[in-house]
Amino acid sequence: MTIQKTLIFVGAHPDDESFGPGGTLAHYALQGYQVYYACATRGEVGSADPEHLQGYASPGDMRWAELVNAGKELGLKEVIHLGYRDSGMVGSPDNQNPECLVMAPLEEVTSRVVKVIRQVKPQVIFTFDPIGGYRHPDHIAIHNATVKAFHAAADARQYPEAGPAYAPQKLYYSVFSKWWLKMFVSLLPLFGRDPRKFGRNGDIDLTDLVAVEFPIHATIKIAPEAQQMKERASACHKSQLQGGPPSSGWMGWVTRWLSSTETFMRAYPEASAGVKEKDLFEGVEK
C-alpha cells in the first residue's frame, strides 16, 4: 500500500508560511503531497493601514482571511489554527495578554501540536530555528512546543487525550545562510536605513541576527512555478507588505536569486557533518 506523503509547517502567524518557506510548501504541493500549515495565532497584533481593515471586525479576522487566500495559492490542503493570540514583539504589552501564545504553558501548546501531528500524520515536520528566525517570542515558543511534540507524538503514554500515537520521521528547522544578510546589513546605511530598526515597525535588529548561524543540511531548489505560487501567496498578505519586494534593478535580481532555493537544518535524525540533502523526504520510509 502506498502511503500518502505529508508535510506540515508549524508556525506562529499568518504570512510566516508565505514570506518564509512558501517556495518549499508550493514545491511539495505541486508534487501531489499533502501539505499543511499549523498556525499558532491569527496575527492580531500585526499593524495594518486602515484601508486593509475595511470589511473586517478585527485585525485578526483580516489577517486570517489573507492566510486562507495565501494557502490556496500555495496549494495547501488545510490551514489549522492552534487557538492562541499573537504575543507581539519582546517587551510589548501584548506579551502579558493571558490568551497570547507566550503566556500559555509549554505543556499545553505541545499537547495541541501533538494532536495535529497525530491527526495529520506527517512524515516530515518543520518549524523555526531555536531563535525563531529574528527572535520573535511567538516563533521561539512554537519552536519549543514543536520540538517537544515531535518526540512526544510517538509515545502513547504522553498526551493520550490527543489521539493514538504516531511517529513522524524527520524534523527540520527553516534556516538561511547569514552571509547575504551580513552583506544586506552593510548596505542598508547606504540607502538611509538603520539595520538595527528594520521591518514594518522598526522592531527588528538585523545586526543581532547575523551573529547566530545554524548549519544547512537540506537545500530545496524552487522551480519557477513554485516561485510564482509563493509570490502570489505573499501578495495575499497585502496588509503586511510595505511596497513589496523589489522587482527591478540589482535588488530585484538578488530577490529572485534568493527565492530560487530554501534551506533547512535537519534536527532529527541528527545530521552528521557534511550532510547535503536535496529533498526533505530523503530516506523517509514508505
> Which amino acid makes up residue 213?
E
* Among 190, 212, 234, residue at a domain's last position: 212
Q: How many CA atoms lie within 13 A of 26 on its CB side?
A: 30
Q: Looking at the predicted structure, is the pLDDT value of residue 115 above 80?
A: yes
**Is 284 inside any structural domain?**
no
Q: Does a cis peptide bond (omega within 30 degrees of 0) precede residue 269?
A: yes
pTM metric for this prediction: 0.90
Are 22 and 61 in contact by the 8 Å Cβ rule? The answer is no
Q: Clarify whether residues 192 and 245 are in a common domain.
A: no
- Per-residue model confidence (pLDDT) at position 1: 57
Q: What is the CATH number of the domain that holds 99?
A: 3.40.50.10320
- Per-residue model confidence (pLDDT) at position 230: 96
Q: Determine the average pLDDT of the residues in 268-277.
A: 94
Q: Clarify whether residues 18 and 47 are in a common domain.
A: yes
Q: Clarify whether residues 189 and 160 are in a common domain.
A: no
Q: Which of 5-14, 165-174, 178-187, 268-277 has the lowest mean pLDDT?
A: 178-187
Residue 78 and residue 58: Cα distance in Å, rounded?
22
Residue 257 and residue 255: Cα distance in Å, rounded?
5
- Over residues 30-83, the pLDDT tens digits come to 999 999 999 999 999 987 888 999 999 999 999 999 999 999 999 999 999 999
pLDDT band, very low/low/confident/very high, at 121 (cuts 50, 70, 90): very high
Residue 188 and residue 169: Cα distance in Å, rounded?
41
Residue 67 and residue 236: Cα distance in Å, rounded?
7
Residue 13 and residue 33: Cα distance in Å, rounded?
23
**Is 1 inside any structural domain?**
no
- Per-residue model confidence (pLDDT) at position 3: 78
Q: Give Cα separations from 211 to 137, 180, 198, 207, 254 (angstroms).
A: 18, 13, 16, 7, 22
Q: Which of 6-15, 72-81, 186-195, 215-224 has the lowest mean pLDDT?
A: 186-195
Q: Clarify whether residues 96 and 228 are in a common domain.
A: yes
Q: Clarify whether residues 229 and 100 are in a common domain.
A: yes
Range of the domain at 205: 178-212
Q: Clarify whether residues 95 and 32 are in a common domain.
A: yes
Residue 275 and residue 64: Cα distance in Å, rounded?
37
Could you give the percent of the chain with pLDDT greater than 90? 72
- Per-residue model confidence (pLDDT) at position 257: 57
Residue 129 and residue 25: Cα distance in Å, rounded?
17
Q: Clarify whether residues 186 and 77 are in a common domain.
A: no
Q: Clarify whether residues 16 and 89 are in a common domain.
A: yes
Arithmetic mean of pLDDT over the chain: 90
- Per-residue model confidence (pLDDT) at position 127: 98
Which is higher by pLDDT, 248 or 190?
190
CA angle 199, 249, 246 (to 5 degrees): 30
- Per-residue model confidence (pLDDT) at position 83: 98
Which is higher by pLDDT, 254 or 154?
154
**Is 285 inside any structural domain?**
no
Question: How is residue 42 annotated by DSSP?
Answer: -
**Is 275 inside any structural domain?**
no
Q: Looking at the predicted structure, is the pLDDT value of residue 178 above 90?
A: no
pLDDT band, very low/low/confident/very high, at 223 (cuts 50, 70, 90): very high
Indicate the angle between helix axes 22-30 and 224-236, nearest 10 degrees. Answer: 120
Q: Clarify whether residues 145 and 19 are in a common domain.
A: yes
**Is 282 inside any structural domain?**
no
Q: What is the DSSP string of 46-64?
A: ----HHHHTT-SSHHHHHH
Q: Clarify whether residues 145 and 238 are in a common domain.
A: yes
Q: Clarify whether residues 238 and 195 are in a common domain.
A: no
Q: Clarify whether residues 92 and 194 are in a common domain.
A: no
- Per-residue model confidence (pLDDT) at position 114: 98
- For the chain, the first-to-last Cα distance in angstroms comes to 9
Q: Looking at the predicted structure, is the pLDDT value of residue 254 above 70?
A: no
- Over residues 11-21, the pLDDT tens digits come to 999 999 999 99
**Is 281 inside any structural domain?**
no
Are 17 and 70 in contact by the 8 Å Cβ rule? The answer is yes
Q: Determine the average pLDDT of the residues in 155-173.
A: 98
Residue 209 and residue 135: Cα distance in Å, rounded?
8
- Per-residue model confidence (pLDDT) at position 185: 79
**Is 82 inside any structural domain?**
yes
Total domains in the chain come to 2
**Is 43 inside any structural domain?**
yes
- Over residues 99-108, the pLDDT tens digits come to 999 999 999 9
pLDDT band, very low/low/confident/very high, at 251 (cuts 50, 70, 90): very low
* Among 197, 212, 227, residue at a domain's last position: 212
Which is higher by pLDDT, 182 or 282?
282
